[in-house]
Amino acid sequence: ISEQRLAESALRTSTALLERTGRVAGVGGWEMDLETGAINWSSQTRRIHEVDANYTPSLETAISFYAPAARPVIEAAVGDAIDSGGGWDLELPFVTASGRSIWVRAVGEVEREEGRPRRLIGAFQDITERREMAMRLAEAAEQVHDLYDNAPCGYYSVDAQGRFIRINALALAWLGCSREEVLHRL
């Protein structure tokens, strides 16, 4: 077997591995040639966008998937990265080709050659489930705090050293103290 065939086989194996791991992790990849404007998306990136396997975006169509309020944010991040040579890591609202509203994490950076920006490369992930869980958790925490603060009896919490870390208004009234006088004190 020639070296070329071995190299081609290794490349196919590596490409297949990247596609499988991207699918399992739910992370897509992308790149954009800054000279030609050509954009290449991995299969997972296409799945997140809900486009067919042959879909080839332009920069304009790629940006158009972001929710209208998010478009200036991603455009500014890309522009700043090209100007500064840095990158971005953003969580933004997004609308898929089928019209589904989701949240995505868009990460990218500039690759330079001979000191000039040549390519943008990055990763793309649907983070809707994580965002929804975080929102539900925040809502539940808010409800617990509301119950704690407005309970018809005095409540307080202390840390392992016995310092007050939380106390509701009724308990403060019973003690005749302000919150500042009590919190974080033994």
Query: What's the CA gap between 125 and 22, in Å, rounded?
Result: 10
- Tell me the per-residue pLDDT of 135-152, one tens digit each, with 9 for 90 and over: 999 999 999 888 888 888
Question: What's the farthest any 2 CA atoms get from each other in the chain?
Answer: 87
Q: In what order do the strands lie in the sheet with 116-126?
A: 39-41, 27-33, 116-126, 101-113, 87-95
| 158 and 81 Cβ atoms separated by less than 8 Å | no
Q: How far is CA 163 from CA 146, 151, 157, 159, in A?
A: 22, 21, 8, 5
Dist. CA 163–CA 157, nearest whole Å: 8
Q: What is the pLDDT of residues 6-46, one digit of tens each?
A: 666 655 655 554 565 555 556 999 999 999 999 999 999 99
Phi, then psi, of 30 in degrees rounded to 5 = -155, 160
Determine the pLDDT at residue 18: 55
Measure the CA–CA gap between 29 and 22, rounded to whole angstroms: 8
pLDDT tens-digit readout, 81-139: 999 988 999 999 999 999 999 999 999 999 999 989 999 999 999 999 999 999 999 99
Burial of 1 (0-12, 13-18, 19+ CB in 10 A): exposed
Burial class (CB in 10 A: 0-12, 13-18, 19+), 135: exposed
